[in-house]
C-alpha cells in the first residue's frame, strides 16, 4: 500500500503542520526523559504537577481532533463540553499512572495527526469554534497544537528551553501574547526589543511619554511574556517588570 500524505495544498498550512509535529516529538522526548517517579513533581505551571502537564497535552490532542472531525464531517463536535469539564478532565487525568499518561499522550497525538492527514484539501478552510468561542478555519488547529506542545515541553521542567523552539514558534508566541495584551488593554508603554529580530514590538503608547523597553533574544522575550521567567531579558534602568497575564 502506498504511503499516505497530508492532502493540504496551502504551503503555509503544510509548514504549520510540520512544526506542530516537530513540537509533538520534542514534547515526547522531554516526557520520555522523566522517570515514573518524576511525574509527581511540580511543573512550571503553578498548581500543576508534571502529571497534569502530560494529561493536559494528551487531552488537548483529543480536543483538537474533535475540531478536525467537525471540519471533515460537518457535524459539530466542540473541543470541550465547557471549562469545568475541561478542568475536571485534567485533574482526573493527573491521577492516572505514569504508564497510562504516556500512552494517552502518544495515542492522542497519533489520532490527531491521522485526522490531519486524512482531511480533504477543500476542508482546511472550514470554520470551527475554539474552546474560547473564536470562529477559526480548521487550519488554525496546527498552530493551536504547536503552542501547547512546545511551551508545555518547557513546563515539564527537565531541560526544555524556549531557545530550542523554531523561529516561527517564537515569533508566533510573541505575536499571540502581545496581541492579547492589546485586546485586553494591558501592557501600555511596554516595548519588546528582540536583539535577534529587526523590529521592536510596541504594545500601546503609555500616554505620558513614559515607557519600558525590555530587550533580549526573541526566545527570552517569549519566555518572559508567557510568564515563565525573566532570565536573559533586561531594561535600561531598574528591574524587569512582571508581564501582564497571558492565559
137 contacts 125 by C-beta, under 8 angstroms: yes
Q: How confident is the model at residue 205 (pLDDT cuts 50, 70, 90)?
A: low
First to last CA, the chain: 45
The three cell numbers of residue 160 are: 526544555
Q: What is the Cα–Cα distance from 33 to 91, expressed in whole angstroms?
A: 23
To the question of domain 169-234 being in CATH 3.30.1050.20, the answer is yes
Task: Give me 168's grid cell.
Answer: 516561527
CA-to-CA distance for 233 and 235, rounded, in angstroms? 7
**Per-residue DSSP letters for 19-58?**
HHHHHHHHHHHHHHTS-GGGGGSB-SSTT-BHHHHHHHHH
Do 11-158 and 169-234 show the same overall fold?
no
The CA-based angle 115-121-122, given to 5 degrees, is 115
pLDDT in tens, 78-115: 998 888 899 999 999 999 999 999 999 999 999 999 99
DSSP 98-133: HHHHHHHHHHHHHHHHHHHHHS-GGGTT-EEE-TTS
CB atoms within 10 A of CB 176: 17
The per-residue pLDDT for range 139-175, each reduced to its tens digit, is 999 999 999 999 999 999 999 999 999 999 999 999 9
The answer to whether 50 touches 34, Cβ cutoff 8 Å, is yes
Domain ranges of the chain: 11-158, 169-234
pLDDT at 128 over 60: yes
The per-residue pLDDT for 3 is: 52
Strands (E), 83-236: 127-129, 135-137, 190-194, 201-202, 212-216
Q: Was domain 11-158 assigned CATH 1.20.120.450?
A: yes
Per-residue pLDDT tens for 224-245? 999 999 889 999 887 899 999 8
* Sheet (strand 201-202) strand order: 201-202, 190-194, 212-216
* pTM given for the model: 0.93
Amino acid at each position: 500500500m502506498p504511503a499516505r500524505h497530508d492532502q493540504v495544498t496551502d504551503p503555509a498550512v503544510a509548514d504549520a503542520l510540520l512544526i506542530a509535529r516537530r513540537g509533538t516529538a520534542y514534547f515526547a522526548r522531554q516526557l520520555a526523559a522523566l522517570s515514573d517517579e518524576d511525574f509527581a513533581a511540580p511543573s512550571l505551571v503553578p498548581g500543576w504537577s508534571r502529571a497534569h502537564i502530560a494529561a493536559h497535552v494528551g487531552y488537548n490532542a483529543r480536543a483538537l481532533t474533535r475540531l478536525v472531525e467537525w471540519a471533515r464531517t460537518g457535524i459539530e463536535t466542540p473541543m470541550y463540553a465547557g471549562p469545568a469539564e475541561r478542568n475536571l478532565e485534567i485533574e482526573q487525568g493527573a491521577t492516572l499512572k505514569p504508564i497510562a499518561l504516556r500512552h494517552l499522550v502518544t495515542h492522542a497525538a497519533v489520532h490527531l495527526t491521522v485526522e490531519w492527514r486524512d482531511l480533504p484539501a477543500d476542508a482546511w478552510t472550514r470554520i470551527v469554534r475554539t474552546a474560547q468561542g473564536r470562529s477559526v478555519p480548521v487550519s488554525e488547529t496546527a498552530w493551536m497544537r504547536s503552542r501547547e506542545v512546545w511551551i508545555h515541553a518547557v513546563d515539564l521542567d527537565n531541560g526544555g528551553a524556549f531557545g530550542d523552539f523554531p523561529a516561527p514558534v517564537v515569533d508566533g508566541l510573541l505575536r499571540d501574547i502581545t496581541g492579547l495584551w492589546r485586546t485586553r488593554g494591558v501592557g501600555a508603554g511596554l516595548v519588546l526589543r528582540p536583539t535577534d529580530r529587526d523590529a521592536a514590538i510596541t504594545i500601546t503608547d503609555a500616554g505620558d511619554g513614559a515607557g519600558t523597553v525590555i530587550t533580549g533574544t526573541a526566545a527570552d522575550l517569549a519566555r518572559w511574556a508567557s510568564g515563565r521567567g525573566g532570565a536573559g531579558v533586561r531594561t535600561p534602568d531598574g528591574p524587569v517588570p512582571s508581564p501582564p497575564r497571558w492565559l
